[in-house]
């Protein structure tokens, strides 16, 4: 048995049985007694998982074990970045629980939430995304934590037969079974399609409560799509499970729709073009690592927040910059293009009035 699982089982036993509960030893019993033992075991599972997920002790144990499993990238700059973003996101009134985050030395784009409110973010994710995009990925994982998706899934996986087996196997056997369930969920990140969609939805709300660009939501999904195609599979084991996540293109579309609704139905993006009050005002162009689509999302994200806050005003041009007040909306390819974008936005604002 792997060392991390041994520690996990020990933690499950310590946290689950530390309250004075006990598991009855195997003995001859009537069917009613066996069913009663099974029900008691399911209650034990619920209590043990709650302790692991809700307590400071459980969080510390899971942080230690998860770091041991994935490795830990000991880089102060990377750690400071995820700590700063997490702290900003936790200021949202939607976030009721406390989280910890660490960095995994893995070049793949991935992040995950596990038991104990522990979040992990790969170096590959941090290197591929700016703060606005990374903030949405982390907000999505907080969504899983707020909904307690792992805990609910693990509880559902414990059927009556398993519970009866736990009841008749004693404390050590029960702890091993519980540790195995936790290990499976840590390893495979078993989320349903509905849970993923709900985490996307709450993640956007949390992002909107922060100062980050709302366009980071669809743009982060565009980063993932550019590398992995239309299906992206989270999880430590990277086991292909094509039905547990929405298509990445659908996640992009849904986040664009959320921006549109947030902007009071004033800002939209279609085919890499930003629309303000149904008038085309900016078509994205590639710049650096940002594709034309990503740049359109980020410009739309700025306009959407301003529209939501009723702060849309006439734009001006400063060199290649299109400005709305003191905010730079976009850096155009040249001054002439900046003037065209500025004029288009001002015309759209006039039409709205």
Question: pLDDT tens across 191-219, in order?
Answer: 778 888 999 999 999 999 999 999 999 99
What local confidence, expressed as pLDDT, does residue 285 receive? 94
Report the distance separating Cα 353 and Cα 36, nearest Å: 69
Report, in this order, helix, strand and coil percent for the chain, each rounded to 5.
Answer: 60, 10, 30
Report the distance separating Cα 27 and Cα 17, nearest Å: 20
Question: pLDDT tens across 326-341, in order?
Answer: 999 999 999 999 999 9
Closest among 308, 335, 305 to 322, alpha carbons compared: 335
What local confidence, expressed as pLDDT, does residue 152 receive? 82
- CB neighbours of 26 closer than 8 A, spacing ≥ 6? 168, 169, 170
Q: Does 265 score more than 90 pLDDT?
A: yes
């Amino acid at each position: 048995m792997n060392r991390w699982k041994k520690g996990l089982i020990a933690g499950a036993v310590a946290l689950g049985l530390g309250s004075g509960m006990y598991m009855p030893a195997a003995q001859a019993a009537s069917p009613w007694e066996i069913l009663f033992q099974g029900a008691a075991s399911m209650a034990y599972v619920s209590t043990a998982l709650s302790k692991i997920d809700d307590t400071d002790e459980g969080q510390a144990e899971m942080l230690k074990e998860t770091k041991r499993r994935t490795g830990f990238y000991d880089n102060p700059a990377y750690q400071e970045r995820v700590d700063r973003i997490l702290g900003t996101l936790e200021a949202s009134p939607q976030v009721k629980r406390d989280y910890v985050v660490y960095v995994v030395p893995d070049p793949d784009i991935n992040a995950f939430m596990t038991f104990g409110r522990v979040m992990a973010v790969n170096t590959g994710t941090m290197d591929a995304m700016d703060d606005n995009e990374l903030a949405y990925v982390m907000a999505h994982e907080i969504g899983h934590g707020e909904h307690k998706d792992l805990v609910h899934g693990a509880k559902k996986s414990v059927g009556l037969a398993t519970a009866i087996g736990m009841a008749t196997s004693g404390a050590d056997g029960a702890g091993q079974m519980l540790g195995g369930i936790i290990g499976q969920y840590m390893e495979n990140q078993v989320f349903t399609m509905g849970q993923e969609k709900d985490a996307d939805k709450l993640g956007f709300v949390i992002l909107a409560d922060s100062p980050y660009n709302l366009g980071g939501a669809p743009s982060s999904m565009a980063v993932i799509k550019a590398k992995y195609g239309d299906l992206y599979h989270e999880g430590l084991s990277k086991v292909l499970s094509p039905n547990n996540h929405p298509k990445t293109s659908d996640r992009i579309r849904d986040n664009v729709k959320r921006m549109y609704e947030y902007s009071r139905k004033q800002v939209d993006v279609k085919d890499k073009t930003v629309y303000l009050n149904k008038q085309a005002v900016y078509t994205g162009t590639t710049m650096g690592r940002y594709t034309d689509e990503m740049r359109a999302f980020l410009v739309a994200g700025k306009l959407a927040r301003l529209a939501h806050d009723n702060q849309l005003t006439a734009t001006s041009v400063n060199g290649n910059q299109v400005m709305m007040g003191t905010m730079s909306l976009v850096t155009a390819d040249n001054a002439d293009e900046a003037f065209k974008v500025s004029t288009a936005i001002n015309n759209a604002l006039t039409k709205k009035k």
